């Protein structure tokens, strides 16, 4: 039979690339080492001088809301806030660490740091050849570092957006 023809009664062969999204290439041991080093570097950069400056106005509002009782805080956010309550809940839970500027900014630093391996994972789905570079750029990005050093929800937003982007990349 000619090329592309099939025998009568034979089931059509569908290439596996059509039926499922391509798997992300596996990372080498060397790449995993780089990723671990970049994540450690990102955390160190975000921790240096974390509590050196006092809290600024928006950060004090975050602390004010986090210290409210759950119902009162939710009512306050619904009436006056434009930000979702998850970060305030995290901050409320971690107030046990203390109320110093460093302790209040620590969750943002952790979320900002964890965004580095998440970006690597996301880039593995969209641009595997650039995943280490993407992680490096995020680890050193002045804007990402700035927002990872504030007692605000910005780094949590970045942290939660990246898995959604990766899932979108694998579904389309």
Residue 58's SS3 state is helix
In this structure, is residue 59 part of a structural domain?
A: yes
Model-level pTM? 0.78
In a domain, 164, yes or no: yes
68: alpha, beta or left? (left if phi > 0; alpha if psi -120 to 50):
beta
Give me the mean pLDDT over the 105-126 stretch.
Answer: 94
- Tell me: the pLDDT tens digits for 73-100? 888 888 887 778 888 888 888 887 788 9
Look at residue 172 and tell me whether its pLDDT is greater than 70.
Answer: no
Q: What is the pLDDT of residues 116-130, one digit of tens each?
A: 999 999 998 888 899
Reported as a pLDDT band with limits 50, 70 and 90, residue 18 is: very low
Token readout for 168 is 């979108």
- With respect to residue 69, please indicate whether it lies within any of the assigned structural domains: yes
Q: Is the pLDDT of residue 133 over 80?
A: yes
Domain membership of residue 25 (yes or no) is no
Calpha distance 114→100 (Å, rounded):
22
Find the mean pLDDT for residues 6-34.
Answer: 63
Domain count, the chain: 1
Identify whether 152 is part of a domain: yes
Angle in degrees, 0-180, between the axes of helices 70-80 and 57-67, rounded to the nearest 10: 140
Q: Is the dihedral of CA 17, 22, 26, 27 positive or negative?
A: positive
pLDDT at position 23: 54
Average pLDDT taken over every residue of the chain: 85
Q: Which residue in 172, 155, 159 sits closest to 121, CA to CA?
A: 159
Summarised one tens digit per residue, pLDDT across range 30-73 is 999 999 999 999 999 999 999 899 888 988 888 888 899 989 98
Would 162 be classed as within a structural domain?
A: yes
Does residue 159 fall inside a structural domain?
A: yes
Domain that holds residue 76: 53-171
């Amino acid at each position: 039979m000619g090329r592309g023809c099939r025998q009568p009664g034979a089931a059509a062969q569908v290439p596996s690339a059509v039926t499922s999204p391509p798997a992300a290439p596996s990372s080498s041991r060397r790449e995993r080492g780089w990723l671990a080093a970049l994540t450690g570097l990102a955390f160190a950069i975000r921790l240096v001088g974390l509590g050196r400056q006092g809290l600024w106005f928006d950060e004090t509002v975050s602390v004010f809301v986090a210290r409210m009782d759950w119902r009162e805080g939710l009512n306050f956010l619904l009436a006056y806030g434009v930000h979702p309550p998850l970060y305030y809940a995290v901050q409320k839970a971690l107030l046990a660490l203390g109320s110093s500027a460093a302790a209040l900014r620590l969750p943002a630093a952790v979320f900002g740091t964890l965004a580095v391996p998440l970006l690597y994972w996301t880039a593995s789905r969209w641009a595997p050849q650039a995943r280490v570079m993407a992680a490096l750029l995020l680890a050193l990005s002045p804007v990402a570092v700035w927002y990872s050093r504030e007692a605000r929800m910005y780094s949590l937003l970045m942290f939660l957006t990246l898995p959604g982007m990766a899932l979108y990349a694998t579904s389309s």
